[in-house]
């Protein structure tokens, strides 16, 4: 399933906030991403309509199975690409920034080859739970 880069970033941010805080509201996303509350509210409305999130009566946001799958895939790519670039000698800050750009456009085939190569150069087994 292919969705826009901005949607992947929102869903990834929701996942990160859920893991960090246990619950998420629109204001948390706005603060984390540096976007206005109205922009976040509009995006959350679209995500709810598209079946990526559920918002309860208290305003707490939960990822649906579909939203969670997209968020986890994006987050996994981001973390692995960051590690890979750092293993090549790229600074952590640059690696994080570049990984955020690459994660949305790289093919599954290329990503899998990067994973294979990372295992070789780092002698590290890559588990989804590590990322």
pLDDT reported for residue 125: 60
pLDDT reported for residue 33: 94
What are 41-72's pLDDT values in tens digits?
Answer: 999 999 999 999 999 999 999 999 999 999 99
pTM over 0.85: no
Q: In angstroms, what CA-CA distances link 21 with 26, 29, 34, 63?
A: 13, 12, 18, 14
14: confidence class by pLDDT, cuts 50, 70, 90: very high
With a cut of 80, say whether residue 1 has pLDDT above it.
Answer: no
With a cut of 60, say whether residue 23 has pLDDT above it.
Answer: yes
């Amino acid at each position: 399933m292919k969705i826009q880069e901005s949607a992947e970033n929102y869903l990834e941010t929701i996942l990160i906030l859920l893991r960090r805080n246990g619950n998420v509201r629109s204001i948390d996303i706005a603060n984390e991403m540096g976007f206005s509350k109205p922009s976040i509210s509009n995006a959350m409305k679209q995500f709810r309509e598209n079946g990526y999130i559920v918002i309860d009566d208290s305003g707490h946001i939960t990822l649906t199975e579909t939203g969670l799958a997209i968020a986890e895939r994006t987050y996994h790519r981001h973390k692995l690409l960051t590690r890979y670039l750092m293993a090549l000698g790229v600074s952590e800050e640059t690696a994080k920034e570049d990984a955020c750009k690459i994660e949305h456009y790289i093919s599954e085939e290329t990503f899998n080859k990067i994973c294979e190569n990372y295992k070789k150069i780092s002698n590290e087994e890559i588990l989804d739970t590590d990322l």
